[in-house]
Amino acid sequence: MTAELVRGQNHPLPETRLEIRVSAGKPVLAGATLNDEHGHMRDAGWIAHPAEPNLPGLEVSRQAAADHRLAVDLNALPDAVHRVNVLLALPTGVGGPASFGAFASPFAAVTSLDGTEIASYTITGLDAESAVVALELYRRQGAWKVRAVGQGYAGGLAAMLQDQGLPESQQLADTINEAVAAGLARAVAPPPPAARGARQHATQAGAARPAADPQGGTDGRGRPSGGPVPSGTPAPDNSAGAPAGGGGPVDYQHPARRSSSTPSGAGAGAAPPPGPVPSGAGSPAAAASGAGAGAGAGAAAGSGAAGQPAGGPPVPVAGDASGWSMDERLYNQIWGMFEDLARTVAAYRSAVDFADSRREQELDKVLSDPRTRVGPVADAAREEARAKHTQLVDQAGAVLERDLNQLVAEAAVVEPALPPAFARWDNPVWQAYEVPMEVPMALRLGDLTLPERADLRIPMLVRLPLDRGLWIDSGNSGSGASLVSSDELRRLAVETAVAIAARLVAVYPVDDFTLNVIDPAGSAATSLVPLLESGALREPPAVGAAGVTQMLERLTQRVDLVQMAVRSGATSSLPPELDTAEQLLIVHDFPHGFDDRAVTQLRYLADEGPAVGVNLLMVADREDARAYGPVLDPLWRSLLRITPVPDDHLADPWVGHAWTYEPPLVPSGSRVVPQVLQQVATARQAYGR
């Protein structure tokens, strides 16, 4: 059970290898300071921050982001360290809010490496503060504990560091903010050695797919692993596709998608050798999470070498990845494509950033010397600087285009080979749909794109059974929503919910999935017709306050009973009338029809339901729920936010790209959903259910 801390409370830490997850709703920078027994930092080397993200036992993000994951290994900390302070600060000089009081309360959680939440803290009461010590991990009599601190500083990061005994606090705060503003978070690192067990395939170094690997790949569950890129190590020419020190082309390819026969010159990195989306991001996590984002299976092998032309790029092959089944191989291949796209774009952006920076430095050098400021020498120097800049950008663009074309070719062969659970609604595989006999490993929740190649759409897959609910934002809070009227946005939001619900019903075996709907005002009746007519929605939506109460009481009782049965090992004693199938509760037009008790029950379902097969799908405008104040913040954070129109609100866990999410809407005029749901109804009748 998670300990929800309030300011000043502490909680024991049962493990020493931990992850600290931060969600702020707006971009913040996250760091951690090491302190002695008196709570003081010894010097500037006792803080992990975006410009220096690695310390013994600590690993933080290189950039400002709405969501962070910090890695902590308490056993690896120096012996002199008695406390670790987790800090959040608003970056200066990059726009955005000037104080934490301008947006929702930040949230921090301490989790084990498998994602189990140990303690959490919502940092309320902030106003004019622009920096805050969120949590303190401290050692007491040989054991470690976490304390909710919530100490804010109106003077910002410098005031916080000074309070911890650092004399040069202002200089260090300026360094940190400059690192964020300069985009050092996009520095590119070479991939680590390939993951054990991943199938390798032959590929030419000159045609290798780039994958600037700032997070060191993924672990067995698709979460990033490894460490952030050390600061001060830009890789100008290598990121732009210039020859590495060994004379060969740079290979940014994801480690598990790289051939073991890659020449030694490839992979000479952009920097010497971070893990949602999401989180979330999920990720697609995600977002994810993210994101995300999201979850994923391990690092994937990529396009196969079968039929590869001599000296040319590898010929894409659908399912050419590690895995026991075709679905698993396709799943891993999609995640490999997602990671490769993230890294190749990161390499391009990093190269362009370096080219811009070098041009400015060379021009500044010309202007700073009175002898060369004007005249033919100055003109020649300026022209040379511009020519170098153009050359570097052109080189980077050529490498980007080559690798994007390879990914487009791979997507062209992968998309038609996807099973229904992974496929878009316009995929012909749905025309041959049959009700499955087992639950698939994942579900397509939409598509993800980057602006460098908007036509390259990567499926956003989430694992099944779902481990968190969804919030379809029907408000005008996203960038994509500004072009759509409020009424149209609400209509698209409920259609997105129906499309997702229909997909879930379709990919589960008969009677292994139950759909429930709360529609207090009955405003979603038209959109719900396909679910009602096919019997996918077995009971009419709950309407009015009484219907809301009855539905929530039934589902919370189910969660309680199953939890008790699982904990006591007596699942066979559950009442025979209890529906033990996976449950999805669609809540439309929240918070209309909800009183305080109903909101509390909804939070309970969001927190406890996923572990016993009950998930939420909220269709609501976040702004409409503001009246409930911070009580809804944990609910908002626990669900994956998606949008009914394309929106760039998801970030990947490697380099923090803003991915554009496209919802899984059914093509206009298509009858695919009624046809699929009718197949489900026919199968149910055949089984006499």
pLDDT score, position 1: 67
User: Three-state SS for 134?
Assistant: strand
Does 635 reside within a domain? yes
Q: Any idea what DSSP says for residue 644?
A: S
Contacts for 676 with CB less than 8 Å, ≥ 6 apart:
430, 433, 502, 506
Beta carbons of 551 and 598 less than 8 angstroms apart: no
In a shared domain, residues 35 and 155: yes
Give me the helices (H) in 536-654, please: 544-568, 596-608, 633-638
Does 512 reside within a domain? yes
Tell me how far apart the alpha carbons of residues 581 and 512 are, in angstroms, rounded to a whole number.
5
Kind of pairing between the strands at 131-140 and 83-89: antiparallel
Beta carbons of 287 and 227 less than 8 angstroms apart: no
In a shared domain, residues 139 and 8: yes
Beta carbons of 353 and 183 less than 8 angstroms apart: yes
Tell me the CATH number at 70.
Answer: 2.60.60.30
CA atoms lying within 13 Å on the CB side of residue 31: 31
Tell me how far apart the alpha carbons of residues 400 and 290 are, in angstroms, rounded to a whole number.
24
- What is the biggest distance separating any 2 CA atoms in the chain, rounded to whole angstroms? 93
User: Three-state SS for 344?
Assistant: helix
Tell me how far apart the alpha carbons of residues 132 and 125 are, in angstroms, rounded to a whole number.
11
Given a cut of 70, the residues of the chain with pLDDT beneath it are: 1, 93-96, 182-313, 371-373, 477-482, 627-629, 631, 687-689
Of 153, 185, 217, the residue that ends a domain is 185
If one counts every other C-beta atom within 10 angstroms of the C-beta of residue 596, the result is 9
Beta carbons of 310 and 228 less than 8 angstroms apart: no
Domain region containing 352? 326-417
pLDDT score, position 406: 93
pLDDT score, position 477: 65
Instruction: Tell me the two tokens of residue 480.
Output: 């994509």
Beta carbons of 346 and 654 less than 8 angstroms apart: yes
In a shared domain, residues 658 and 510: yes
Tell me the CATH number at 517.
Answer: 3.40.50.300
Q: Any idea what DSSP says for residue 95?
A: -
In a shared domain, residues 388 and 485: no
Q: Any idea what DSSP says for residue 316?
A: P
Does 214 reside within a domain? no
In this structure, the dihedral spanned by the alpha carbons of residues 380, 381, 385 and 391, taken in order and rounded to 10 degrees, is 40
Helix (H) or strand (E) holding 105: none
pLDDT score, position 372: 64
Task: Give me the number of domains the chain comprises.
Answer: 3
pLDDT score, position 500: 96
In a shared domain, residues 32 and 103: yes
One-letter amino acid for residue 12 of the chain: P
pLDDT score, position 174: 87
Radius of gyration of the chain from Cα atoms? 26
In a shared domain, residues 487 and 609: yes
Contacts for 566 with CB less than 8 Å, ≥ 6 apart:
612
β-strand partners of 664: none
Q: Any idea what DSSP says for residue 309?
A: P
Contacts for 393 with CB less than 8 Å, ≥ 6 apart:
240, 351, 352, 355
Does 486 reside within a domain? yes
Does 437 reside within a domain? no
Tell me how far apart the alpha carbons of residues 117 and 136 are, in angstroms, rounded to a whole number.
16
Question: Would you put residue 280 in left (φ > 0), alpha (ψ -120 to 50) or beta?
Answer: left
Tell me how far apart the alpha carbons of residues 616 and 582 are, in angstroms, rounded to a whole number.
11
CA atoms lying within 13 Å on the CB side of residue 359: 18
In this structure, the dihedral spanned by the alpha carbons of residues 53, 58, 61 and 64, taken in order and rounded to 10 degrees, is -90
One-letter amino acid for residue 122 of the chain: T
**Of 156, 110, 168, which Cα lies nearest the Cα of 132?**
156
Kind of pairing between the strands at 614-620 and 582-590: parallel
pLDDT per residue as tens digits for the range 607-641 = 899 999 999 999 998 877 776 667 677 788 889 99
In a shared domain, residues 36 and 137: yes
In a shared domain, residues 413 and 474: no
Of 137, 159, 185, the residue that ends a domain is 185
If one counts every other C-beta atom within 10 angstroms of the C-beta of residue 37, the result is 11
Does 670 reside within a domain? no
In a shared domain, residues 409 and 476: no
Beta carbons of 259 and 194 less than 8 angstroms apart: no
Omega before 102 cis (within 30°)? no
Tell me how far apart the alpha carbons of residues 344 and 215 are, in angstroms, rounded to a whole number.
13
β-strand partners of 131: 89, 153
In a shared domain, residues 401 and 470: no
Beta carbons of 606 and 639 less than 8 angstroms apart: yes
pLDDT per residue as tens digits for the range 201-242 = 333 223 333 333 333 333 333 333 333 222 222 222 333 333
Handedness of CA 257, 260, 261, 264 (dihedral sign): positive
If one counts every other C-beta atom within 10 angstroms of the C-beta of residue 620, the result is 22
β-strand partners of 133: 87, 151
What is the residue whose two structure tokens read 């390879």? 406
**Of 149, 148, 143, 150, which Cα lies nearest the Cα of 13?**
143
**Length reported for the chain:** 689
If 0-12 CB within 10 Å is exposed, 13-18 middle and 19+ buried, where does residue 375 land? exposed
In a shared domain, residues 470 and 347: no
> Measured between alpha carbons, how far apart are the two ends of the chain, in Å?
37
User: Three-state SS for 47?
Assistant: strand
If one counts every other C-beta atom within 10 angstroms of the C-beta of residue 155, the result is 18
Contacts for 348 with CB less than 8 Å, ≥ 6 apart:
239, 396, 397, 399, 400, 452
Q: Any idea what DSSP says for residue 233?
A: -
What is the residue whose two structure tokens read 């301490």? 110
Of 382, 401, 417, the residue that ends a domain is 417
In a shared domain, residues 408 and 499: no
**Of 85, 135, 84, which Cα lies nearest the Cα of 106?**
135
Does 639 reside within a domain? yes
Does 41 reside within a domain? yes
